[in-house]
Amino acid sequence: MCCDAQLGEISKGENVARDKEILALNAFDPNAAGSADPELRAALQRRMRSFGSGSVLFYQEPIRMVRAEGVWMHDADGRRYLDVYNNVPSVGHSHPAVVAAISRQAGQLNTHTRYLNDVVDEYAERLLATFPDPISQLVLTCTGSEANDLALRIANAATGGRGIIVTESAYHGNTAAVSDVSPSSWPGREPPAHVRVVPAPETFRTPGDDIGARFAQSIEAAIADLQRDGIPFAGLLVDTIFSSDGVYADPAGFLAPAVELAHAQGGVFIADEVQPGFGRTGSAFWGFARHGVVPDIVTMGKPMGNGFPMGGVATRPELIDRFTAGTKYFNTFGGNPVAAAAGLAVLDVIRDEGLMDNASRVGGYLMDGLREIGNRHIQIGDVRGSGLFVGLELVRDRETKAPAPEIATHVINGLREHGILIGAAGPFGSTLKIRPPLCFTREHADIVVSACDEVLKTLPI
């Protein structure tokens, strides 16, 4: 989530100056004019006093959030917001089944995995059952960042290589090692020596039906470049819906040639499912499954516990064996029974409430609605995605497809006025990223489409 355009994930856009203004797209700027609301001013001062420049807030008038349920969040003034931004509370904010599971287990036992505990083992079995063979073992962590950090170490142990290939606006997490493979964390800078950056499998500005071959070619070139520099190739790491690159889901299957190539060159394929995983794409539980590929390593995070901090790595037993043969790894909070109980409740709710199917149906309905208003708003350059992970591309001009981050900012702030929370992504910050809780309905989709329609009518052009 870190590399949202709200934080600024500008990478190599030719037409976009990488100045502070754009990097901070829609982030609160403490140096800008203060708020007129004395309570908000006091809350902001309090936040800045304790967190200083490490504080990252949305909107120039940040929201004081107090409660949330389902798809709705409520601020301190009693105003409610339709949440199409936050993909962590994936089964719905404050879902009673998840809250009950956390409360029950926290009152019973919260300890580490050095003791046996049925809740943890049941969760592991239920989670592993969602993966294709031969992915059959798990390491539980506390965050997606820890999962990707561990995945890099497993890849290194498996291949002996360190060279990692990622896409140009990718974000994979916040540890030192994972920041190295997150180009959106170092916009405009050269990659670390062991990292190669390839263009995202972008189908909007570079159309054509050869996206799979094109993506594989760029990876082949990157591997060759690593080899020229004497850096053995370890693997290809991608978010399987390319969220931070601007949401690229189709055509399903385009990842296959890249994965095949990575394997042929002795590397592993790491599928970062922190964003697309747990049914969000509607047509499959995992983003990689849409592409008909089987990763060597899968990493998970955000929606796993619906907000309870948990992450994980699933892989083949022999990869875990190779890693543990050389390294001791233990995660104190990882796999604690409370996390496992939260995770089990999430799996139950996804199944019992039919959320994958809902994501598929409502996501399709939402995309249809957005395409329909695209007929009268030339700024809508593209509507794409899968399930309830939708990218709405804003352009200055449909012919040139020039990215319009300033229109994205206008829409983000305009939707906020309409009581809708949304963010942007992509190398230019011009892709609105729609990823609401999976209990989103057609009525909620109508609200979003209609508000987008209204806001786009008010463009100050």
50-79 positions binding a copy of itself, by CB under 8 A: 50-58, 62-68, 73
Local structure of residue 95 (DSSP, 8 states): -
Cβ pair 337, 102 in contact under 8 A: no
Q: Is 413 in the site for a copy of itself (CB under 8 A)?
A: no
Binding segment (CB under 8 A) for a copy of itself, from list 13-21, 131-139, 230-238, 375-383 = 131-139
Task: Say if residues 22 and 29 touch (Cβ distance below 8 Å).
Answer: no
Name which of residues 275 to 304 contact a copy of itself (CB under 8 A).
301-302
**Radius of gyration of the chain, Cα coordinates, nearest whole angstrom:** 21
447 binds a copy of itself (CB under 8 A): no
| Least distance (Å) between residue 100 CB and a copy of itself | 9
Q: Is 139 in the site for a copy of itself (CB under 8 A)?
A: yes
In whole angstroms, how close is the CB of 226 to a copy of itself at the nearest point? 19
**Residue from 88, 252, 294, 373 binding a copy of itself (CB under 8 A):** 88
CB of 340 to a copy of itself, least distance (A): 11
**263 Cβ neighbours under 8 A, 6+ residues apart:** 269
Question: Phi and psi dihedrals of 143, rounded to 5?
Answer: -145, 160
In the bound state with a copy of itself, the residue whose beta carbon lies nearer, of 410 and 416, is: 416
> What's the angle, vertex CA 397, arms to CA 376 and CA 418, rounded to 5?
50
Say whether residue 5 binds a copy of itself (CB under 8 A). Answer: no
Q: Does 272 bind a copy of itself (CB under 8 A)?
A: no
User: Shortest Cβ distance from residue 45 to a copy of itself (Å)?
Assistant: 10
As a whole number of angstroms, the distance between CA 17 and CA 23 comes to 9
Minimum CB–partner distance for residue 125 and a copy of itself (Å): 6
Among 16, 35, 99, 260, interactor with a copy of itself by CB under 8 A: 99
Chain positions 159 to 218 lying near a copy of itself, rule: CB under 8 A, are 174-177, 179, 184-186
| Phi/psi-derived region of residue 242, left when phi > 0, alpha when psi is between -120 and 50, beta in every other case | left
The residue type found at 48 is: M
Distance in Å, CB of 108 to a copy of itself, minimum: 5
Of 32, 116, 399, 460, which lies in the binding site for a copy of itself, with binding defined by CB under 8 A? 116
Angle between helix axes 256-264 and 211-228 (nearest 10 degrees) is 30
Q: CB of 128: closest distance to a copy of itself in angstroms?
A: 6
What single-letter amino acid sits at 30?
Answer: P
Cβ distance 125 to 156 under 8 Å? Answer: no
Residues 371-400, one symbol each (x = binds a copy of itself by CB under 8 A, - = not), give: ------------------------------
For 230, residues 6+ apart whose C-beta sits below 8 A from its C-beta are none
Is 97 in a helix, a strand, or coil?
Answer: helix
Cβ-Cβ contacts under 8 Å for 114 (sequence gap 6 or more): 330
**Residue with structure tokens 């030192």?**
176
From the centroid of its chain, how far is CA 354? 22
Chain centroid offset of residue 209 CA = 25
Footprint of a copy of itself on residues 309-368 (CB under 8 A)? 309-310, 317, 320-321, 323-325, 327-333, 336, 338-339
Residue 55 amino acid letter: S
Instruction: Count Cβ atoms below 10 Å from residue 457 Cβ, excluding itself.
Output: 11
* Nearer to a copy of itself among residue 25 and residue 259 (C-beta): 25
Min separation Cβ 235 and a copy of itself, Å: 14
Could you tell me which stretch among 117-125, 232-240, 284-292, 445-453 binds a copy of itself (CB under 8 A)? 117-125
Considering only 16, 43, 256, 294, the residue that binds a copy of itself (CB under 8 A) is: 43
Pairing of strands 80-83, 195-198: unpaired
Q: Is 437 in the site for a copy of itself (CB under 8 A)?
A: no
Q: Does 221 engage in binding with a copy of itself (CB under 8 A)?
A: no
11-19, 43-51, 192-200, 424-432 -> range binding a copy of itself (CB under 8 A): 43-51
Nearer to a copy of itself, 52 or 208 (CB): 52
State the first-to-last Cα distance of the chain, in angstroms, to the nearest integer: 31
Q: Nearest approach, Cβ of 406 to a copy of itself (angstroms)?
A: 21
Residue 240 to residue 237: CA distance in whole angstroms: 9
- Single out the residue of 7, 157, 284, 392 in contact with a copy of itself (rule: CB under 8 A): 7
DSSP per-residue codes, 168-214:
TT----SSHHHHHT-GGGSTTSPPPTTEEEE-----SSS-SS-HHHH
Q: Is 31 in the site for a copy of itself (CB under 8 A)?
A: no
Beta bridge partners of 81: 73
By CB under 8 A, tell whether 241 contacts a copy of itself. no
Question: How do beta strands 402-403 and 389-397 pair?
Answer: antiparallel
